Amino acid sequence: MTWTPLILPFLVGALLLLVPGLVIMAFSGLPARLWGLSPALSVGAIAGSGIVWGVFGWAWGPSAVLLTTVLIALLAWALSRRRPSVLAFGRAVRRSVVPLAIAAVFGVFVFWRMYMSVVPGPEAIGQLQDTMFHIDVVRYIIENQDGSSAHTGYMDGSLNASGFYPAGWHATAALLVELTGISIPLAATTVSALLTVIVFPLSAITLAVTLFGNSRLLIASVGVAAQLIGAFPWRFLSWGQLYSNLMAMSLLPAVIAGLVVLLRSWASSTIASRTLLVGLIGVAVIGTALAQPNTVFALVVIGFAFIVNAIVMAPRPVRWKLLWAACVVVALLGGWTLLYIAPFMQRTVTWVWDSFETPAQAFGELVTLGFNGGLGQFGLAAVVIVGGWSVVRRHPRESWLPASALAFGVLYVLAAGSEGRVRDFVTGFWYHDSYRLAALVALLSVPLLGVAVAGALHGLRRRFSRVRAGAFPALALLLAVVTVFMPGATQQREWIRLSFATDDAWMISPAERDFLSEVARVVPDGVVVANNPYDGSGLAYGLFGTDVLFPAMDGNWLGEWDPEKKTVSSELTVSGFSPDVCSAVEDLDIVYLLQLDDRWYSSGGTLPEWSGLRVDGAQPGFEPVLQEGDMGLYRITGCG
């Protein structure tokens, strides 16, 4: 299948993720070196406008995002009182155009190698648990013209749902659909490409430049390094799928850079400048949090390391340092505990996610970057360690960066290799999911990897001054290309292939997708269709807009069972149309029953709660409307 349909939405998506943020930055007078913060500001405008428009019940879409961007930019201009200038950002890009171009071209190449070469096509969707929910939320936003994260939790239709679900990724995908007219699956692919090729490398570069200087070698090294560690971003395309986390963690390094600038300029800034910086970084943090809130807890861990490091580096007596460090520890533990026991966090922190290996095995995976049963990336791991040690020795003020990576490594070992209260307490805000913690280690390792490579290239250039200047960078780039074909990366690529494979598909096959398209053509708008989401039929809503009773699997619900829906799901085809069943069918306005092939995504679909949603052969009270093998659409006639 051709990938040319990806080109136009990719270009439009790049503008969508860069331009709003750049406009805000141009009006605010933020330092040009922070221009990689623009995607976080853009997502802040996108997701934030959804919240605001949702409060007032206004229709949300591209115009809402445009107006919000203009308002934020004007407010920033009023606080900065500086002449709006895009030239500063243009100069920053122009000075770095070659290393940025190298990073971009390499990113496209790696995306082709890791994703495009093994995925059936740009319209393919991952055959994974969370994919159905994500695709359906995008449909919900489009149909309701509501991009509010305070409302998207209602999509699944479960009872007493909180309503809140972080919709930064979904709102961005929905805007792409509205701006270009593409399908939701193609929008999902486009956002994945944008995050891996542009946003994460740019974000990592912004952090590195903020901490270690605006070296062209550093920019190129970090930009290339952003594509090399399997745990992030590539594992997130074959696990989950963790679309929301992919966006949030791609934005995170630039947000960290912005916070560093804010904290270090605080003492020398005016009140207006402080207010401006707090507001802008706040918009970026909001955008990142509305993509996935667990990044806020990552910022807490990183902030703790930053503050402790600053205390250690301060020219103060040891007693003073110990006192302040103790105060910071107490504050962290107190706040962490309060949030851990908060009622609204219980669904997250009590999620059951068992460990799967010994602590020794998890530690071995950490030090080789071979997380979650992956093959070790030994060369990269060694360079990351060298980079971390180099930062501690040569940039001690930035020692918090390798310390933060190490802290998340410890959390990974606890999540993957242990059980108990300590493990639950410190990893609960990430669902105890070792994949998310491994990703935090990986994304913080990228600047360390870049520092080590750039330092080595600088050293080689000085030592072998007679060698052509571009020889060693070219060799380093060649080694990076080779790394993409090494066993660790090849394994990640195979995992992506398996996650999108449609031969013996885990969730939905091409034939089933075609059948759902035919169902959408036959079923009138607004007519409710009973279904078991575990056979893939929940995607009928996200892909084609069919109003299915269960658009998501109960493992993804944000609420609980509705008794009438539970009656239908457990008894519809096995009760002989009892009064309770018919009453529920009538109350829920159900007209049809939809089933796909007799193949379940997981055993959850065969539990008693779902046992009443399958017709076997000719069954009285279910009139066939469409049939193809085990797939069928039936009009429910048994209730008169």
Domain ranges, residue 413:
4-499
Say what the pLDDT of residue 85 is: 64
Domain-embedded: residue 106? yes
- Region 218-228 average pLDDT: 97
User: Do 135 and 177 reside in the same domain of the chain?
Assistant: yes
Residue 505 in domain: no
353 closest CA partner among 443, 243, 240, 507: 240
Whether the Cβ atoms of residue 322 and residue 200 lie closer than 8 Å to each other: no
Q: What is the number of domains present in the chain?
A: 2
pLDDT tier for residue 593 given thresholds of 50, 70 and 90:
very high
Confidence class of residue 87 from pLDDT cuts 50, 70 and 90? low
Nearest to 447 by CA among 400, 378, 393: 400
Which residues are within 8 A (CB) of 232 and not within 5 positions of it... i.e. 6 or more apart? 200, 249, 438, 439, 440, 442, 443
Whether pLDDT at 213 is above 80: yes
Q: Identify whether residues 43 and 137 lie together within a single domain.
A: yes
Provide the pLDDT for residue 616: 85
Residue found by looking up tokens 């904290």 in the block: 263
Q: Are 494 and 551 part of one and the same domain?
A: no
Asked if 20 and 45 touch (Cβ cutoff 8 Å), the reply is yes
pLDDT, residue 88, reads 64
Q: Where does 294-387 show beta strands of DSSP type E?
A: none
| Of 439, 474, 499, the domain-final residue | 499
User: Does residue 455 share a domain with residue 376?
Assistant: yes
Q: Are residues 541 and 480 in the same domain?
A: no
Looking at the fold, whether 162 and 219 belong to one and the same domain comes out as yes
What distance, in Å, lies between the first and last C-alpha atoms of the chain? 47
Backbone angles phi, psi at 549, to 5 degrees: -65, -35
- pLDDT, one tens digit per residue, over 344-402 is 899 899 988 999 999 999 999 999 999 999 999 999 999 999 999 999 999 999 999 99
Contact 324/311 with Cβ under 8 angstroms? Answer: yes
- Which of the listed residues 499, 520, 553 is the one where a domain comes to its end? 499
| Domain identity same for 557 and 452 | no
Rounded to the nearest 10 degrees, the angle between the axes of helix 7-28 and helix 168-180 is 120
- Which residue is associated with the tokens 């560690």? 229
The confidence score (pLDDT) of residue 94 equals 74
Q: What would the mean pLDDT of 60-65 be, rounded to a whole number?
A: 97
pLDDT grade for 173, boundaries at 50, 70 and 90:
very high
Residue 84 binned pLDDT confidence (cut-offs 50, 70, 90): low
Is 565 within the bounds of a domain? yes
Q: What is the mean pLDDT of residues 85-100?
A: 74
84-88, 369-373, 520-524, 633-637 — which is least confidently predicted?
84-88
For residue 590, the cross-strand partners are 528
Question: Residue 194 — φ and ψ, nearest 5°?
Answer: -65, -40
Q: Starting from the edge strand earliest in sequence, which strands make up the sheet with 590-595, in order? A: 528-531, 590-595, 631-636, 622-628
Is 504 part of a structural domain of the chain? no
The residue among 499, 524, 554 that closes a domain is 499
- pLDDT tens string 314-345: 989 999 989 999 999 999 999 999 999 999 89
The single residue listed with the structure tokens 């623009």 is 38
Determine the pLDDT at residue 270: 85
Burial class (CB in 10 A: 0-12, 13-18, 19+), 490: middle
- 520 and 428 share one domain: no
| For residue 504, pLDDT beyond 70 | yes
Exposure string (b/e) for 413-429, b if CB count within 10 Å is 16 or more?
A: bbbbbbeeeebbebbbb
pLDDT at position 586 over 70: yes
pLDDT(127) > 70:
yes
Residue % of the chain over a pLDDT of 90: 84
Question: Is 483 found in the same domain as 625?
Answer: no
pLDDT reading at 89 higher than 70: no
What are 445-487's pLDDT values in tens digits? 999 999 999 999 998 888 887 777 778 889 999 999 999 999 9
Q: Please report the pLDDT score of residue 601 as a whole number.
A: 76
Nearest partner of 351 among 434, 439, 245, judged by Cα? 434
**The tokens of 190 are what?**
């486009």
Same domain, 352 and 483: yes
407 close to 437: Cβ distance less than 8 angstroms: no
Does 460 map to a domain?
A: yes
- Strands 631-636 vs 622-628: parallel, antiparallel or unpaired: antiparallel
What's the CA gap between 447 and 208, in Å, rounded?
5
Residue range 7-28, pLDDT digits in tens:
999 999 999 999 999 999 988 8
Quick one: average pLDDT of 402-418? 97
Query: What's the whole-number average pLDDT of the chain?
Result: 94
pLDDT score, position 360: 96
Please state the length of the chain.
Answer: 640
CA 553/CA 550 separation, integer angstroms: 7
Whether residues 439 and 525 fall in one domain:
no
Q: Are residues 487 and 629 in the same domain?
A: no
- What is the pLDDT, as a whole number, of residue 14? 98
Token representation of residue 406: 């190490």
- Please answer whether residues 529 and 551 qualify as being in contact, where contact means their C-beta atoms are separated by less than 8 angstroms: no
User: What are the pLDDT digits (tens) for 536-566?
Assistant: 999 999 999 999 999 999 989 999 999 999 9
